[in-house]
Amino acid sequence: MTLKIKAVAALCTTAAMGMTTSTFAAEPAWAVSPAWSQSSDSDGLTIHKAFASALPSYSNGLKWQGVEWQEQRYRQNGNSLSGHGVNYTAQDLDALTGMGYSLKVGVNQGPDKTTAIGEWNYNRAYNAQLHWGVFASRDWVESMNALQQGIHYDLVGGNVDYQVHPRVTVVGSLAQTHFSDGQDRQQQRARAVWDAWPDQGITLQWAYKHQLGDANGAASGNYFNPDRLNESMGLIGWRRRYDGWQWYARLGEGRQTVNNDGSTPARLAELQLTSPVRGSSYFKLRVGRSETSGLYSGNTGYVYRYLDAQWIWPLGR
């Protein structure tokens, strides 16, 4: 089981691009929001999460705050675990640039113990070419062994985006993760994006990841955290808009090397769909599949599949 960190702000930014500032003109109102998240992997682990939110300050699909109830269930090889929690959640993103913040903080009761959890993304523009951001998250390590022992992680990091040419952007990020069982992980990422065919919404991308971890994390059987991991991947992205709806797809193919082992395939396929930011309701969907190395599958190919969906219904408008 690989540790997965959700980048909530990325999906929200995708929804934001190309909208107009008039999006933010409406007065805040009440809204309700159910959401669903599920994943499964080639190690046999399935995760289902259900959310129900009351949003007393809803302006549009990019700006709201409220309280969220969460239920989660984990299954693997006939074993099941469950938990629940309550969170404060808020988001305020600019419709033109995607800059702003998203926040979730709460208390979650896992199978073994209760802990505080959270996720925070904050992005700003230094000027027209340079954007920067910081992010942090705290949650359970989602493998059966780690959940049974109540192991959680704390992650902090930052990123910088620089437009070197009107059609070329480079991105760099650094992140540090500490696990509650004493292990650590450092991760560096670099990405280059070329707006190859802007009229068709097609980009060509290259992404690189370098990761340093602790072998003891893997030796314990709790989660995948090798001494050293390198990954290089080429991707093609395709973004389209129609009548306020927007979808974004990307496909990636590359190679990954773990410790001193030979390189193995690394693949990614993802689709994101968002409704118009303003309307009688707001909807977003993210579904995808990745193939890398994993804790139990080793070099045979660890496959991870995921689906996230959210609906927001304003009340009294």
Mean pLDDT calculated for residue range 203-231: 84
Mean pLDDT calculated for residue range 29-50: 96
Mean pLDDT calculated for residue range 155-163: 98
Q: Give residue-wise pLDDT tens across range 43-89.
A: 999 999 999 999 999 999 999 999 999 999 999 999 999 999 999 99
CA 251 to chain centre: 17
Tell me the domain boundaries of the chain.
8-314
**Pairing state of beta strands 202-212 and 79-93?**
unpaired
DSSP string, 6-46: --HHHHHHHHHTT--GGGG-SPPEEEEEEEEEEEEETTS-E
DSSP strands (E only) in 141-281: 152-165, 168-179, 184-197, 202-212, 228-242, 245-258, 264-274
Mean pLDDT calculated for residue range 89-94: 95
Contacts of residue 196, defined as CB under 8 A and 6 or more positions apart, other chains included, come to 167, 202, 203, 204
Answer yes or no: are the C-beta atoms of 175 and 154 closer than 8 Å: no
Residue written as tokens 């600019």?
Answer: 94
Question: 215: part of which helix (H) or strand (E)?
Answer: helix 215-219
Q: Which fold has domain 8-314?
A: Porin (2.40.160)
Q: Give residue-wise pLDDT tens across range 3-12.
A: 554 443 343 3
Q: Which among 252, 259, 256 is positioned nearest to 292, based on CA atoms? A: 256
Q: Which among 43, 8, 17, 28 is positioned nearest to 223, based on CA atoms? A: 43
Total-model pTM: 0.87
| 113 phi and psi angles, rounded to 5 deg | -160, 180
Going by pLDDT thresholds of 50, 70 and 90, the confidence category of residue 221 is: confident
| 10 phi and psi angles, rounded to 5 deg | -65, -45
Alpha helices (H) in 79-176, listed in sequence order: 144-149
Q: Give residue-wise pLDDT tens across range 97-118.
A: 889 999 999 999 988 899 999 9
Residue written as tokens 């709790």?
Answer: 222
| pLDDT for 26 | 60
